[in-house]
Structure 1
Amino acid sequence: MTVATDPRIGERLVAAGLITAEQRDWAVGVAARNGARVGAVLVAAGLVRRTDLYRLLARTWAHPYIDLADTRTDRSLLDGLDPQTLRAQGWFPVRREGGGVLVATSERPTDEVRGRIGAVLGAGVTLAVTTDWDILQALHAGFRETVVEQATLGLWSRDKAQSARTVLFPAQRIVLWAGLAALVAGLVLSPTDTLTVLLALVSLAFLVAVTFKFAVCMVGVRQENRVSVTDDDVRAIRDQDLPVYTVLVPVFREANIVAQLIDNLGGLDYPAEKLEILLLLEESDTETIEAAKAANPPRNVTFLIIPPGHPQTKPKACNVGLFLARGDYLVIYDAEDKPDADQLKKAVVAFERGGDDLVCVQAALNYWNASDNWLTRMFTTEYSFWFDYMLPGLDRLGLPIPLGGTSNHFRTAALRALGGWDPFNVTEDADLGIRAAALGHTVGVIDSTTFEEANRAPGNWVRQRSRWIKGYLQTLLVHLRHPVRLVRTAGLRQSLAFALLIGGTPVTFLCTPPLYLLFLASWFVSLDGLFPGWVLYVSLFNLLIGNGMMIYVSMMGAFKRRRYGLVGWALLNPLYWLLHSIASYKALWQLVTKPHYWEKTLHGLSRPSSAGPQQAEAVAG
């Protein structure tokens, strides 16, 4: 909130009968401890309505109150103005009157404020008081076309090579068609030699990709007892030193869980008056909008309605939120998320220690419904090794970190400088992490967990995973458009790690079926004369040792989370990879036919455990 400081505001609210003397004393104490304003504390706590507070402030400041929601504004006054500046300074031009301009402000209407605004508008200014919420909604409506255009095409306009809007650049098309032509020619002219070369390439690619992941995980194991931000570090933070934090929550077709979402966010241990929660709702999704209203969210939750238009994706909605966010830091959560209560404070400590190059920290993700069925068990073992070992290993080695879609904490200014999210990339999170590394920034991890709902339905799982893999392929194509520039900017080591991780992940899944088929064929026919012995040995090594390494790290992830009942399920990892393969071939097909199509994942299929996620870790089996 931008309520101006007034040491007598508590007394005035008591005199007006809006709060009690006890509520005033409580709010004054909280404001003193948190370095906040009494009015902001009272509104965030739900003790006084925002409109009542600002109407009283208007009378106190001897200025009229204006309700922007019921006032027609002159949109021509917005020409040449920067909405982010207006948001930060808390004012909005309403209309011309009396040779000047009527301006609504949520700050104390002083002569200094009047002069600053008049200099921007080049006219005399008459000030009226309104709420900070009204300012935000007026900016959202008044700059609707600008916000949507920036959210959709901002990154593409700045650097077309960084956007997945165009799937293949001309040079990439030439390389692709040349490769396909060479493959067809080889199969026609020398099929045996061509198949040998293909199998050798597939086997070596699989071996290198799996070995790379295993080696990084082993580095992550050495980080197991290294806690970057301790509980003592969090307790040492004074609330008055905490910055404003923006929480972005994109929600689409989530009417069944939006009330649970609002309840989960209420568990964050952060001063409510310094927490800005922007609920990003699609204009066409009236069911979720009504469900969100019915949930009676706290006063620091603001609805931002995202206008329709192509592409209708989560990153586009997040860009709208980023455009109007006022927090120094920003985090994104999904609708079903339940983050650790102190996660925001841990992120603040990490940023203070990480230096200016640290633009993002990723919290770990895990699942509260691991014991639902075999699929949720496999999903949980996968996430446990990925977030508890793989990402810490990448962090320790200083390699690019593909972000995980939620619980990504950013420096807001740095995120804007990066261009925000790419709305045409269906794994905008992984792309953003790689883009940050490619531009010379760093991404880290924090030892905090956000609990989600693991996908329990195979069809729903394939839809979700195919989108993720398609996004990895998009990210690979985007960042390999100028490989020389990538190496010069990010370095050879980081560039190779990017190729192995982002390229190696879909490649291993695409290669799994032919390798399994080759193994089955060897049971019935001799392959010694068809392929060189070393190629078959590498394939056998992949089958036994490669799968064994991934089973091992999956078991380790279950042990790390004390989910001992999941350890044995890791033995089914080879079958789980086949499910990945199905999703990968679907992803490859959609990359050609529907590159920007967003496969919607259904949530709310599992019933939340009454034990809570922390207890669920110990009992899942």
Structure 2
Amino acid sequence: MALGGDVSATRVADSEAFAALLLQAGLVSAEALAFARQVKQRTGAHIDEVLISQGLLDTESLLLAEAQAWGVHPIDLDAVAFDENLIRRAPGQVYIAENWMPIRRSTNGSIIVATARGVAPERVARIQRVLKETDLQFVATTSWGIKNSCLRLFRSEIADEAANELWRQNPRMSARITFSRSQKIGLILTALALLVSAIVWPIETAIVTLTVMSLVFLAGTSFKFIVAMRGARYDVVERVSSAQVDALVERELPRYTVLVPVFREANIVGQLIRNLGGIDYPTEKLEVLILIEEEDHETRDAVLTSNPPPHFRIVTIPKGHPQTKPRACNVGLFFATGEYLVIYDAEDTPDPDQLKKAVVAFRRGGSETVCVQASLNYFNDRENALTRMFTLEYSYWFDYMLAGLDLGDLPIPLGGTSNHFRTSALIELGGWDPYNVTEDADLGIRASALGYRVGVINSTTMEEANTSIPNFVRQRSRWIKGYMQTTLVHARQPVALIRQIGLRRFLSFVLLIAGTPATFLGVIPFYVVTVFTIFLPVDTLGQLFPVWLLWLTLLNFVVGNVIMIYLSMMGPYKRGTFHLMLWALLNPLYWLLHSIAAYKGLWQLITKPHYWEKTEHGLTTHVQHN
């Protein structure tokens, strides 16, 4: 992936002569130009960027003015025929990064080149070197005209790179292959051994299996309890005060890219435009890329109907496999121009100052900080029992669990949204794995393996909690399947992973990433054995299972649920949502839903590992108050 930027490009449009041209041509008013100059002085942005981002100048008028300033003709790239052989003299990344691209040969043999950044001599010389041609004829276009043309002309290459670049670079780190050859052999041999044992020694096999599951369950829940309690004891979240945010100099703020992958979200894109429009960041330094799948015409039409601000852009995701959120994000990364980048879901409402807090946190953390994670919570927590449990879970996870992992310098599995990245480091990591359905958790482990740090900041993004059980099971089965995928990927080279991240971090990875699915898979068997233990005479069960095993499963049932009820009750303390506390008593039923989702996820891991189970949004009857 190449970072498509225009920071160092020659800008004729930044000159006072160009400003005067805009005024003389009647394209902007004197008041608008004075405003643009003030913003330029404050933020350092170019005059044309200010005018465009504020809706004071449209791109077509800017194109005409730039063409006149450069002494060339304007051109609409959507209406021209490209020479396919000529266009492939350089990669699409070069054209996007440098804001030019060849079109075709003219009748006199010169190459027609579209430029969005002028025709300065050093720029012309650079283009001549790339094309290995000296006779060039320039025409003017816009940056987005070039980007859209590259997306159209290189669509197959972009789709392939977005899906398979990580796999090509490091196939062992990609979930494209679900089970490696050694894992297949090991699992087949284990399954055969269990089958033979179950036939020959059925009782003994059941005892050993339950014992192992019990110990894994106890280890997983105990680990979460210890880490969360450390996070509660030490407030290690990266605290950024309002004073520090106010002290930021807008001229020194970096360019920021917001990626918003949407798929069949036509019902909430209006809300999306409003929510992201509330971000407190200079619009001339902010680009919002709405990533829409090629065939999703309904969502595209809804976005256009919502009349988004000029700094919102639609990026069409070419058809390809797998059709997943991380693949769409990789395409967005291809076009991102920001020094920093954040992911938001369609229903997200981030704190207005979240981007500025992230900038402060990155500057504090230094180059080793690749990502800062904001907290997630829900605006419809009072809607029903499920939304209340959802909110309790997220409150404990983001306020205590992630803080405990950060304190212990342990790998942090990222959330699917509100992750703020250094764009260059994200590219170094290979972007997201499109074949992993919890690409966020996988990326957190890969970042740790390369020595990067993931931090947590004191900012919250409000989301819509699941309101229906079927929708919840679909979502959680995908998350749990993704944890299984991530476990399989990083278990291919366990010794190498230990060398990279250390034994302590490796054990944390095993207990959290591998332990979470194992814990949920154990819930239903433990509940069944516990019910029999409570309601059947001990003598009857004692003929099948040893008493110590019955006590162990009962201990798991009691201790596991007590731990999670206690952790869930802790969540409301930091946020003051005390009305949720008693709902934590429903955790045994909530975990039962997780167990059902875990078995569904396990089945899909075998039958369709890369299938992205769609979570429906916009189902709530509650209205968010900003």
The letter of the residue matching 1:114 is V
CA drift at 1:85: 2.7
Which residue does 2:71 correspond to in 1? 62
Q: Quickly say closer, same or farther: Cα 1:173–1:447, change in 2 above 3 A.
A: same
CA distance in 2, matches of 1:396, 1:233: 23
CA distance in 2, matches of 1:602, 1:84: 34
Which residue among 176, 179, 186 is the counterpart of 1:175? Answer: 186
Which residue does 1:11 correspond to in 2? 20
Give me the TM-score of the superposition, normalised by structure 1: 0.96
Q: How does 1:428-577 map to 2 (within 5 A)?
A: 428-522=439-533, 523-526=535-538, 527-577=541-591
Residue 107 (1) aligns with residue 117 (2): yes
Which residue does 2:128 correspond to in 1? 118
Question: Which runs of 5 or more residues in structure 2 are unaligned?
Answer: none
CA distance in 1, matches of 2:449, 2:46: 41
CA distance in 2, matches of 1:258, 1:499: 38
The letter of the residue matching 2:584 is A
Instruction: Check conservation: 1:167, 1:595, Cα contact below 8 A.
Output: yes
Over residues 490-539 of structure 1, what are the superposed CA-to-partner deviations in whole Å (9 max), with x where a residue is unaligned? 21111111111011111111101111111110121313454344433332
CA RMSD of aligned residues (A): 1.5
Q: Tell me the SS of whatever aligns to 1:567.
A: helix
Q: Tell me the SS of whatever aligns to 1:445.
A: strand
CA distance in 1, matches of 2:17, 2:391: 54
The letter of the residue matching 1:525 is P
Instruction: Check conservation: 1:87, 1:326, Cα contact below 8 A.
Output: no
Q: How does 1:332-351 map to 2 (within 5 A)?
A: 332-351=343-362
Instruction: Check conservation: 2:237, 2:457, Cα contact below 8 A.
Output: no
CA distance in 2, matches of 1:332, 1:610: 20
Over residues 569-590 of structure 1, what are the superposed CA-to-partner deviations in whole Å (9 max), with x where a residue is unaligned? 0110111000111111111111
Which residue does 1:233 correspond to in 2? 244
CA drift at 1:225: 7.2
CA distance in 1, matches of 2:83, 2:302: 33
Larger displacement relative to structure 2 (587-596 or 542-551): 542-551
Residue 84 (1) aligns with residue 93 (2): yes
CA distance in 1, matches of 2:604, 2:237: 41
Which residue does 2:412 correspond to in 1? 401
CA drift at 1:189: 2.4
Q: Quickly say closer, same or farther: Cα 1:243–1:85, change in 2 above 3 A.
A: farther
Question: Which runs of 5 or more residues in structure 1 are unaligned?
Answer: 613-621
CA drift at 1:368: 0.7
Larger displacement relative to structure 2 (325-334 or 16-25): 16-25
Residue 133 (1) aligns with residue 144 (2): yes
CA distance in 2, matches of 1:60, 1:478: 55
Instruction: Check conservation: 1:11, 1:24, Cα contact below 8 A.
Output: no
Residue 72 (1) aligns with residue 84 (2): no
Which residue among 583, 587, 598 is the counterpart of 1:584? Answer: 598
CA distance in 1, matches of 2:36, 2:233: 46
CA distance in 2, matches of 1:608, 1:267: 20
Residue 421 (1) aligns with residue 432 (2): yes
Which residue does 1:318 correspond to in 2? 329
Q: Tell me the SS of whatever aligns to 1:466.
A: helix
The letter of the residue matching 1:540 is L
Q: Quickly say closer, same or farther: Cα 1:36–1:422, change in 2 above 3 A.
A: same
The letter of the residue matching 2:531 is L
CA distance in 2, matches of 1:467, 1:579: 13
Instruction: Check conservation: 2:237, 2:456, Cα contact below 8 A.
Output: no
CA drift at 1:126: 2.1
CA drift at 1:422: 1.0
Which residue does 2:316 correspond to in 1? 305
Instruction: Check conservation: 1:92, 1:138, Cα contact below 8 A.
Output: no
CA drift at 1:12: 2.7
User: What percent of counterpart residues are identical?
Assistant: 53
CA distance in 2, matches of 1:218, 1:21: 60
CA distance in 1, matches of 2:104, 2:395: 56
The letter of the residue matching 1:176 is L
Which residue does 1:616 correspond to in 2? none
CA distance in 2, matches of 1:556, 1:85: 51
Q: Tell me the SS of whatever aligns to 1:255.
A: coil
Over residues 33-67 of structure 1, what are the superposed CA-to-partner deviations in whole Å (9 max), with x where a residue is unaligned? 00111110010001110110121122122222121
